Amino acid sequence: VGDSADYDSEVESVCAFCGVGCQISIKVKDNRVKYVEGINGPANEGRLCVKGRFGYDYIHHQHRVTKPLIRRDDAPEKGLNVNPDNWQEFFREASWDEALDLAADGLKGRGREVAGFGSAKCTNEEAYLFQKFIRQGFGHNNVDHCTRLCHASSVFALIENVGSGGVTATFNEIENADVAIVIGANPIENHPVAATYFKQFTKRGGKLIVMDPRGVGLRRFATHMLQFRPGADVAMLNAIMHTIVEEGLYDQQYIDAYTENWEAEKAHLKDFAPEKMEDLCGIPAETLRAVARDFATAKSGMIFWGMGVSQHIHGTDNSRCLISLALMCGHVGRPGTGLHPLRGQNNVQGASDAGLIPMFLPDYQSVTDDGVRSAFTEVWKSEDFSNEKGLTVTEIMDAVHDGDIKAMYILGENPAMSDPDVEHARDALAKLDHLVVQDIFITETANYADVILPASALYEKTGTVSNTNRQVQMVRPAVTPPGEAREDWWIEVELAKRCGLDWRYTHPREVFAEMAINMASLNNITWERLEKTAVTYPSLSPEDPGQAVVFGDGFPRPEGRAKFTPASVIAPDDTPDAEFPMILTTGRQLEHWHTGSMTRRARVLDAVEPEANCSLHPSTLRKLGIEPGGMIRLTTKRGSIVTMARADRAVSPDMVFLPFAYVEAAANILTNAAIDPYGKIPEFKFSAVRVEPVSEQ
């Protein structure tokens, strides 16, 4: 951090990493970011974590794609790692016209043979344009993005049971809560600024109940730490709810006024006495009962969850349990109460809101509803498109293998690193006869591209993003993109025109205005307002800063009632056996974000965490004869990787924790593609694995 002499301009924008959505001031000199400071945004009040403060310099990295690239006729086979310092062996530079023409030629007129992955790293306007491009341009709904890999099951359960996919309360509301549950989430590493509010909550006496198979950092602040057996979430949560029913701790008045299906839930819970569930979930019955009493008898309680809840084949059931728990205690719709799935990427909330989902148009309006489709096609001045739900991320890869999808447009996503059972995804990408990748680097996915369109980083863009709190915020360009790289919305428009669409947008504000026509969530939120301040949706008037807590007077469901959906215990898909005796779980680290394409090119972050690694309990390492820092081989039914072992007492002796940011030890070579039947989210959090020492050569 320096003083004003160190920079010649400062621009207010939003951090490019996690869903907390911290507002930042970017200090710029000679078109380079000098440093970043936190400012007083609604989600961060000046705070930043290490990624926000020090992770910006990836945008100036030498590996940025600065010109459109076209695969050479004599290039080696698709999928071989492209050396970013020697990409000329694979690609040649092209003009924008040549690259866009080639990109469009391989897509247009191919209808259902085309699918698209948009990006939660882009703005709301860019996400909206992307889903419109696929729907209007190709007549179907085969468009998805990384929400499928993070909170699709949470969103399914929320829409099913409370009628809306967003959080019911901001995380800052914890300051009004008496008790909070954080389950399947590791905010200290993944939502660090949100975690500071959680810690402050405990300092003023709030009861924090942490539930996770890993002893995540928040345990140090917890009243109760429930380190339950992986995959036993439903058993544990049902046992807690059983206690609430058995001891009459539920809020009958609230249940009568605002919910339905309570009797079925109550009857279902009879079989889940804590004494019967304690072995299955690994938590003593008395602890389960104590947690039930603490949560149910508190005046106000909140529930936060992360991908430890959602990334299971029973991810939707996990979320259904959390929703039921909050509803039966009346912990929704008042200050200090609510349901909050902590969103991962900076704009995964906004990209989902904007319709980058195969079953929903913007604002979660169903593609199967004729009236909804016609409202959109009227605005788009185009013909109707398919009323069938489209394919999801993993289904699209299967359809490529089946020969049904032959061309893809991938904007800012990296399925060659992020998909489960990633060799299956990589083989699919290699099979495509046309792949357009729009990105800022030659990612692992771009290794398979026919055309690479050089895009912009967030700090080079104009647009809006929506954070985990439903706060819509403006991002502004601090620097110009390098070389001939362009903003993503501009590239989308140019590609659409070449695919025959009459798109005439000249600025993201025009896209925002179009979005607002059919998105009730944007009522009273205008571009001009957002230029001055963040607004939380829903906003009830042009002056209303927005509703931090929603559903105080009923839910957007029939008769205004939320629903209890009982959940039964389903075993994980890939359970340990003699050959694969341990449990593998994957996740993020504080310093690295998602597939690492950005943070591993950020100097400070890479210096702190430079090497692929995994964590095991010290007793497990001893048993296997492995020293901390030694190399180990992890093998599942899908494949094998070698990485460095770390000792970590937070990991149970029967588990391995593996970050997924490292291409040299790609975690998703190991993970299971089995999906939750509702949210269609893969089971990243549970695979049977074998661990072996690797002898030094």
Tell me if residue 463 falls in helix, strand or coil: strand
Counting contacts by CB under 6 A, is residue 52 touching ligand SF4? yes
Answer for which of 26, 28, 33, 48 binds ligand SF4 (CB under 6 A) is 48
Q: Which of 428, 422, 449 is nearest to 437 (CA)?
A: 449
Q: What residues numbered 270-309 form the site for ligand SF4, per CB under 6 A?
A: none
Tokens of 553: 């007077």
Residue entry with tokens 């050959």: 579
Counting contacts by CB under 6 A, is residue 572 touching ligand SF4? no
- At closest approach, how far in Å is the CB of 217 from ligand SF4? 14
- At closest approach, how far in Å is the CB of 15 from ligand SF4? 3
Helix or strand run (H / E) with residue 693:
strand 687-693
CA 66 to CA 386: how far, in whole Å?
37
CA 689 to CA 580: how far, in whole Å?
5
Counting contacts by CB under 6 A, is residue 449 touching ligand SF4? no
Q: In the beta sheet, which residues pair with residue 26? A: 11, 36
- At closest approach, how far in Å is the CB of 608 from ligand SF4? 14
Compute CA 406 distance to the chain's CA centroid, rounded to the nearest angstrom. Answer: 26
Helix or strand run (H / E) with residue 608:
helix 603-608
Answer for which of 70, 149, 185, 193 binds ligand SF4 (CB under 6 A) is 193
Q: Which of 177, 179, 151 is nearest to 165 (CA)?
A: 151
- At closest approach, how far in Å is the CB of 193 from ligand SF4? 4
* Residue number closest to ligand SF4, CB atom: 52
Q: How many residues bind ligand SF4 (CB under 6 A)?
A: 14
- Which one, 49 or 218, has the nearer CB to ligand SF4? 49
Counting contacts by CB under 6 A, is residue 511 touching ligand SF4? no
- Which one, 136 or 589, has the nearer CB to ligand SF4? 589
Counting contacts by CB under 6 A, is residue 651 touching ligand SF4? no
- At closest approach, how far in Å is the CB of 465 from ligand SF4? 10
> What CA dihedral angle connects 626, 628, 633 and 636, to 10 degrees?
100
- At closest approach, how far in Å is the CB of 558 from ligand SF4? 37
- At closest approach, how far in Å is the CB of 187 from ligand SF4? 9
- Which one, 59 or 567, has the nearer CB to ligand SF4? 59
CA 220 to CA 193: how far, in whole Å?
17
Answer for which of 26, 28, 49, 645 binds ligand SF4 (CB under 6 A) is 49
Compute CA 664 distance to the chain's CA centroid, rounded to the nearest angstrom. Answer: 23
Q: What residues numbered 6-35 form the site for ligand SF4, per CB under 6 A?
A: 15, 17-18, 20-22
- At closest approach, how far in Å is the CB of 146 from ligand SF4? 16
- Within 10 angstroms of residue 356's Cβ, the number of other Cβ atoms is 32
Which of the stretches 75-83, 189-197, 387-395, 537-545 binds ligand SF4 when contact is defined by CB under 6 A?
189-197
Counting contacts by CB under 6 A, is residue 605 touching ligand SF4? no
- Which one, 364 or 459, has the nearer CB to ligand SF4? 459
- Which one, 49 or 322, has the nearer CB to ligand SF4? 49
The 8-class DSSP code of residue 382 comes to: -
Tokens of 370: 């004729």
Omega before residue 454 within 30° of 0, cis: no
- Which one, 192 or 206, has the nearer CB to ligand SF4? 192
Counting contacts by CB under 6 A, is residue 596 touching ligand SF4? no
Contacts (Cβ under 8 Å, ≥6 apart) of 233: 183, 184, 211, 309, 312, 314, 318, 321
Is the CB of residue 188 less than 8 Å from the CB of residue 202? no
- Which one, 44 or 615, has the nearer CB to ligand SF4? 44
Answer for which of 68, 163, 192, 576 binds ligand SF4 (CB under 6 A) is 192
Largest CA distance in the chain: 73
The region that residue 412 occupies, defined by phi over 0 for left and psi between -120 and 50 for alpha, beta otherwise, is left
- Which one, 52 or 576, has the nearer CB to ligand SF4? 52
Answer for which of 34, 51, 207, 229 binds ligand SF4 (CB under 6 A) is 51
Q: Which of 295, 297, 294, 276 is nearest to 285 (CA)?
A: 276
- At closest approach, how far in Å is the CB of 197 from ligand SF4? 11
- Which one, 54 or 250, has the nearer CB to ligand SF4? 54
Amino acid at 663: V
- At closest approach, how far in Å is the CB of 232 from ligand SF4? 30
Three-state SS string across 44-89, please?
CCCCCCHHHHHCHHHHHCCCCCCCCEEECCCCCCCCCCCCCCCHHH
Q: Which residues bind ligand SF4 (CB under 6 A)?
A: 15, 17-18, 20-22, 44, 48-49, 51-52, 191-193
